[in-house]
Chain A
Amino acid sequence: MAAVRSDMTGFVFWRLVGFAPVLIVALVLTFLAIRALPGDPVVVMLGDRSSDPELSSLLRRQYGLDQPLGVQFLRYVTGVVQGDFGLSYRYAGTPVTEIIADGLLISPVLAAAALALALPVGAIAGSFAAVRRNSAADVGVVLMLVLGLSVPNFAIATILVFLLSVKLGLLPVAGWGSLSQAVLPVVVLALPTAAYIARLSRTFMLEVLQQDYIRTARAKGLSERIVIYRHAFRNTMVPVVTSAGITLGALLSNAFVVETIFNIPGLGRLAIDSIFARDYPVAMAIVILFTFLFVLINFMVDLAYILIDPRIRASVVARGGRA
């Protein structure tokens, strides 16, 4: 057992070491890609009258844009290592960390809320459909599934906003700050995930219902309700909940789109605005942050697998922790 634990430590260690190249590659690619875009941040700052040579060169000097690309990169990396992401170009004189802090929690909160909604809704709908396989209810659920997975979220958002906000006036069109403003974004974000989870639940449930232990339970004379809820549903949920972790990453990137649709000041919208405004430091910081977050989520999922599934754990141990 002690060997297993130390090998787990080894696994965690090697995984963390593996983060470094991913982050470095992301850093270099973003740095180059964003500068390869046409456009000049100083001209964006100054607008039409940007040919004032004194003001332009003052700003260029202040932001270090007069330096060669290599020097700019080194300066940037040195700063980042010390937790200094520089000053925003667009928000004159404001530190990037301050700008990002404003919206930092919004995307994760949206994603988590959507997952919290999608998981029960999807699991119940999928299992229900599986139990009544081939009934009208099943066909109905499957139809909803296909719709939920194939209609893009901006289309669903537009329809919901038109019906619920503009026509009926029940919910605000857009914005952020009150609970009512969060309802539509969370629902729109949750729908495709709910559909995905429902599909998984339906498949797993169908499989579980074929298992010997279900037949045994029925043979014991247990009521159908107990068979379904106590035995089948619980066993279905193990793989479903594990898969849900993976969807969190997708939810985070979908949150970018939903934030733009509903005008929510999260990091997703900020990233898009920053790229258009050639606000290099803010865009870079968000990319780095999200790369880190994605790597972290993947790591957690891997870890969860190892902890849940003894077979994977055994293979990790066999390789001395190098997964």
Chain B
Amino acid sequence: MKARWKQLAAVCAVAFVAWSANATAQVLKINLDMDPPHVDPILYQENISSRVLRDIYESFTWSDETGANHPALAKSWEPLTGGRTGFRFFLRDNAVFHTGRKFTAKDVKFTLEYMLNPASKAGNADLLQTIVGAQAVKAGTAKDLEGVKIVNDLTIDVEFTELNPSFPIATIQFVDSEFVKEHGAEWFNKGSAGTGPFKFSRWQRGSRVELLAHDAYWGGKPKVSGVTYLIIPSPETVLAQYDANELHVADLQESMFGQVFTDARYKNQLMSGMRASLYWMGMNPEAYAPFKDKRVREAVSLAIDRDAIIKGLFKGAATSFDGVVPPGLNGYTNELPKLAYDPARAKKLLAEAGYPDGKGMPPVTITGWPVIKDLVTYYAAQLNAVLGMPVTPNIIERTTWIKSANAGELPFFPSRWTAAYMDPVQFLDLMWHSKSRFNRAKWKNAEFDSLIERARVTSDNTARMALFKQAETMVLADWAGFSLPVPVTAGLVKPNVKGIKSSPSGYLEIRGATIQ
């Protein structure tokens, strides 16, 4: 009897070892800085949730590691005819939801209506405001979104009151309408209703989020059986777990760049790439009078040594560009005048503006948040040293900073802006149009506004990009703001893992990963 139990136990043990080896060998393990606040693709978007959701849910298009947009759930689209403003989308015929249902036009219409319902708290609903009938759905007076018409299962028309040319490439994560209707408000915790390469499987709060491969993915079955995000808030622990082979990929926080980029051990495992993100200097003339003079704004830029920042503070893990539309975006150009470091000319300009050696300038604080305190300290010290400008660094808690900056209360501040999707509208319209909620420097220029308003309704891409280019030149010529070095996106990848790419989105692309 005893022997039989032993045998059984041995068989079980062998089976378990075989099973666990088989089940765990192919799961990609990567770190996540903290728990996602939610796994709802419709709710307001924020970085950590987006990191997890971007491989589960899909939009009309996706952007690759160069920032170029490609068809995803829409195979193609064309302008509407018959005097209507908008697009006709031809949907992919081989997209299948994780639930096993086929993706159709019905799901597109449902998702758009669902986003407009205020109860869904959709973070990207502002993209939909100009769809015909959007206001009625928002107000709850209509259920049917009038401007969205299903032509057949795979064709759908979206009509606008005012054209939104970037609509096809915007992030709108389409969900399985049947699944949502069936499971009610908390549907996203009960299953996976996307079409992406991975499906949501399990979230153990404080510990891990598990995704499984979607075998029926239209782009081909993923080459790993799943992805496990281990939630690790401490960057030092991330590195230790990577060293101990508990992670295949370490997604690095900027604070670790100094250590990782200078350690020879990591040389062949380090992956980095440019990020479509803008770090720029905000100078608000309404809050600090000397900034009304363009020469003062230019002098500030000339007094900053970008190469020294990249080498000293970022250990080389940063890049610099001259415009306000970052590389990796349609509309980026590298043919702009160089942003130089020229202390002599900076001093001369400041003197011409009436402040020789900074004399006569009222004191001003340059305000940042804790993570960038070294940079803020550098800017203050450098401007004191080169220009004699009475700048004091001031570090405040991040959310207070965001509020004050968006309210236009900060006189002088380095700022960061990342694209929600790969289009220059994100960097020009949102940041500099005088009516934008995000015009943090309170720069106003009527001519610029009218260029942007024209670009908003121009559907021809070449003409649209030309307008954006003209608008960008105006921002630069007036020194409304200028760009500062941007840290790269960086990660460590074990040698046996292939197919991980860094992308301008700032996320490591993991969908093509293989483990050998």
Chain A residues at the B interface, C-beta cutoff of 8 Å = 37-40, 43-55, 58-59, 90-93, 99, 102-103, 161-162, 165-166, 169, 172-177, 260-263, 265-266, 269-270, 273, 278
CA distance A262 to B241 in the complex (A): 11
Contact check, B123 vs A39: say whether CB atoms are below 8 A apart.
Answer: no
Interchain Cβ contacts under 8 Å between A and B, 28 examples: A38-B400, A39-B397, A39-B398, A40-B403, A43-B399, A44-B399, A45-B44, A47-B47, A47-B402, A52-B126, A58-B121, A90-B35, A91-B35, A92-B40, A92-B43, A103-B205, A165-B244, A166-B240, A166-B244, A173-B237, A173-B241, A174-B241, A174-B246, A260-B234, A261-B237, A265-B231, A273-B34, A273-B35
The distance from the CB of B243 to the nearest CB of chain A, in whole angstroms, is 5
Most buried by A among B34, B241, B399: B399
Most buried by A among B126, B243, B244, B402: B244
Contact check, B246 vs A175: say whether CB atoms are below 8 A apart.
Answer: yes
Residues in A whose Cβ lies below 8 Å from that of B403: 40, 43, 50-51
The distance from the CB of A47 to the nearest CB of chain B, in whole angstroms, is 5
Residues in B whose Cβ lies below 8 Å from that of A162: 240
Residues in A whose Cβ lies below 8 Å from that of B43: 92
Q: Indicate whether B418 reaches chain A with its CB closer than 8 angstroms.
A: yes
Contact check, B244 vs A39: say whether CB atoms are below 8 A apart.
Answer: no
Instruction: Among A50, A92, A173, point to the contact of B406 (Cβ < 8 A).
Output: A50
B407 to A, closest residue via Cβ: A51
Residues in B whose Cβ lies below 8 Å from that of A50: 399, 402-403, 406
CA distance A244 to B480 in the complex (A): 66
Q: A45-B46, A51-B407, A169-B244 are in contact. List 19 more A-B contacts (CB 8 A).
A: A37-B397, A38-B400, A39-B400, A47-B47, A48-B402, A49-B123, A52-B126, A55-B123, A90-B35, A90-B37, A92-B121, A93-B185, A102-B205, A103-B206, A173-B237, A174-B241, A262-B237, A265-B205, A278-B399
Residues in B whose Cβ lies below 8 Å from that of A44: 399
The distance from the CB of A104 to the nearest CB of chain B, in whole angstroms, is 12
Q: Indicate whether B438 reaches chain A with its CB closer than 8 angstroms.
A: yes
Contact check, B206 vs A270: say whether CB atoms are below 8 A apart.
Answer: yes
A174 to B, closest residue via Cβ: B237
CA distance A37 to B396 in the complex (A): 11
What total of chain B residues lie within 8 Å of the partner, measured CB to CB? Answer: 46
CA distance A102 to B207 in the complex (A): 10
CA distance A172 to B44 in the complex (A): 36
Chain B residues at the A interface, C-beta cutoff of 8 Å = 34-35, 37-38, 40, 43-44, 46-47, 118, 121, 123, 126, 185-186, 204-207, 230-234, 237, 240-241, 243-246, 396-400, 402-403, 406-407, 416-418, 420, 437-438
Contact check, B205 vs A91: say whether CB atoms are below 8 A apart.
Answer: yes
CA distance A265 to B209 in the complex (A): 13
Residues in A whose Cβ lies below 8 Å from that of B204: 102, 265
Contact check, B406 vs A58: say whether CB atoms are below 8 A apart.
Answer: no
Q: A40-B400, A58-B118, A165-B244 are in contact. Are A175 and B230 (CB under 8 A)?
A: yes
Residues in A whose Cβ lies below 8 Å from that of B186: 93
The distance from the CB of B403 to the nearest CB of chain A, in whole angstroms, is 6
The distance from the CB of B416 to the nearest CB of chain A, in whole angstroms, is 8
CA distance A173 to B46 in the complex (A): 29
Residues in A whose Cβ lies below 8 Å from that of B44: 45-46, 55
Contact check, B399 vs A51: say whether CB atoms are below 8 A apart.
Answer: no
Instruction: Among B35, B40, B244, B399, point to the contact of A172 (Cβ < 8 A).
Output: B244
Q: A47-B47, A59-B121, A161-B240 are in contact. Are A172 and B246 (CB under 8 A)?
A: yes
CA distance A43 to B400 in the complex (A): 8
Contact check, B234 vs A263: say whether CB atoms are below 8 A apart.
Answer: yes
Contact check, A173 vs B205: say whether CB atoms are below 8 A apart.
Answer: no
Contact check, B38 vs A92: say whether CB atoms are below 8 A apart.
Answer: yes
Q: A40-B399, A58-B118, A176-B207 are in contact. Are A51 and B244 (CB under 8 A)?
A: no
A165 to B, closest residue via Cβ: B244
CA distance A45 to B237 in the complex (A): 25
Residues in A whose Cβ lies below 8 Å from that of B244: 165-166, 169, 172-173
Contact check, A173 vs B233: say whether CB atoms are below 8 A apart.
Answer: no
Q: A169-B244, A175-B246 are in contact. Are A51 and B437 (CB under 8 A)?
A: yes
